[in-house]
Chain A
């Protein structure tokens, strides 16, 4: 095989004799570099992105055309209600990949290399998060485009869409910290997936993503009404349709802040722990 032979001594000499040590990269530069790595992964493994958007698109089609008439009178009317929630569900599910990616890196030994480099030690975490926020935005844009094609007509216009997407990204960023913890505690990427789905399934289905809160029995309303995913989908729906959303937005921001304040210190502690 032509690409498998070692060249002559003289060619390695120059490369191995280069003895210049640059100044270590700044924290910002190493985070940017690691975010670039996350983007390269999307480029090389686009399947990861489609994988998590195909299911929501199926859901959108199924719910809109099969249940839409029954739930909201007509499918066209139902998609106005459903799509903001589907966006939330999609991105909330993709956050799991933050933990999956981290667990994979640790298992493959890549974190040993990162940790032996003279850089700001938490860079890999923040680089991965920055890359993930980009990934969430792409998935979000994809869902919105599909929605628009299927007849979703947000009254709030582009500004409403952007504000809603921004709010979902804030919540997704917060949620990612939980999966970072899971990613460092369990052994395999597959178990990150299963562990987190145990939480995410009830979190997304016991919400008002698919049906309105007031159609549920009273006791269930009490539960679903306190689910942060309900706040998020209500807020996104209101923002996209140009309706007042301040209350739900405040709840979402509050919940995100609480998650970050609790989970981030734990995650950092685990990250610095020996393994």
Chain B
């Protein structure tokens, strides 16, 4: 089968709020696919429809060859969902939680207990296995939540914002787990707000905004549209911005994007050398700059480049 997920014109509204305005997606089997977007863009709604928890208003979605509405049970047999919040019973121990899921998936008591022990061991949670999950750290809860999705290895794993709210160390551990899961052949659909996360884990990315996929491609292709790195320049005097804008456009051969700050400009660069050229031109033009930063393009830059507005604005609009 070429595609694990085929989605055409998916529409979903909640009351008067339109969460999805026609999503199209094709996700190859055996890959990690990243769905990137700000809060409220429609990532979770898409995931929940694909995991059979919501029914679409229009459009079609096939998961592993099965229609998510008409063949929901067949889909559920092949996929696992790890939602945005750790969906384990905090009153129970880690081991009991995994036994519970194993039993509900049809393992015998003996098999379920064995599998729970093996998974906790493989996820580095053996020492805490007999303690109630409510005493665990956030990173450990996330891991047992992912483990619960792997009691029976699914053909497709949905991970909805798996590292949101985690400290850097726990985040790295989750990333490592996702890599190992994918290496064993499970297709992973990952949603995230972080470009870095999508960049590190996913072979292909879809950028989602206002319930639509606005860009699609490999991480390299997406970054090419914003440049490999970004230069932010803040002027001492906001009135000088048009001059700086003209100057940057001349050096780069394309317009820089304006930030919310009236004294600031951001430009995607094709190479770090361009930063030196721009700074030299600024010195020559005797523009007074307050500070400048050079960094990798963030989701914000991708968003600026694709939509002309920052991701925070998109999140704020979605929240309204």
Residue A15 CB within 8 A of the other chain: yes
Contact A6 B173 (CB under 8 A): yes
Q: Within 8 Å of chain B (Cβ to Cβ): is A269?
A: no
Cβ–Cβ < 8 Å partners of B153 in chain A: 16-19
Residue pair B180, A16 in contact (C-beta under 8 Å): yes
B91 close to A (CB within 8 Å)? yes
Contact with B along A17-29 (1 / 0, CB 8 A): 1111111110001
Size class of the contact patch on chain B = 35 or more
- Which residue in chain B gives the minimum CB-CB distance to A30? B104
Nearest CB of chain B from residue A274's CB, rounded to whole Å: 5
Cross-chain contact A116 with B105 (CB below 8 angstroms): no
| Docked-complex contact A40 and B92, CB < 8 angstroms | yes
- The A interface, classified by DSSP as helix, strand, loop or mixed, is helix
Q: List 25 A-B contacts (CB under 8 A).
A: A4-B124, A12-B123, A14-B118, A16-B153, A16-B181, A19-B185, A22-B106, A24-B77, A25-B104, A30-B104, A34-B104, A36-B103, A37-B100, A44-B132, A45-B91, A105-B89, A108-B85, A109-B85, A113-B81, A113-B101, A116-B51, A117-B76, A117-B105, A118-B76, A118-B105
Is A112 interfacial (CB 8 A cutoff)? yes
B96 proximity list for chain A (CB < 8 A): 37, 40
Q: Give residues in A with beta carbon < 8 Å to B.
A: 2-7, 9, 11-25, 29-30, 33-34, 36-37, 40-41, 44-45, 105, 108-110, 112-119, 123, 274
Given A13-B184, A15-B118, A109-B86, A114 contacting B104 (CB threshold 8 A): yes
B152 adjacent to A112 (CB under 8 Å) = no
Q: Is the CB of A3 within 8 A of B126?
A: yes
Kindly state the separation between the CA atoms of A53 and B100 in the bound complex, as whole angstroms.
29
Complex interface residues of chain B between 67 and 112 (CB less than 8 A to chain A)? 73, 76-77, 79-81, 83-93, 96, 100-101, 103-107, 111
CA of A5 to CA of B143, assembled, Å: 11
Q: CA–CA, A180 to B100, complex, Å? A: 22
In the complex, which residues of chain B have a beta carbon less than 8 angstroms from the beta carbon of A15? 118-119, 121-122, 150
Which residues of A sit under 8 angstroms from B103, Cβ to Cβ?
25, 29-30, 33, 36
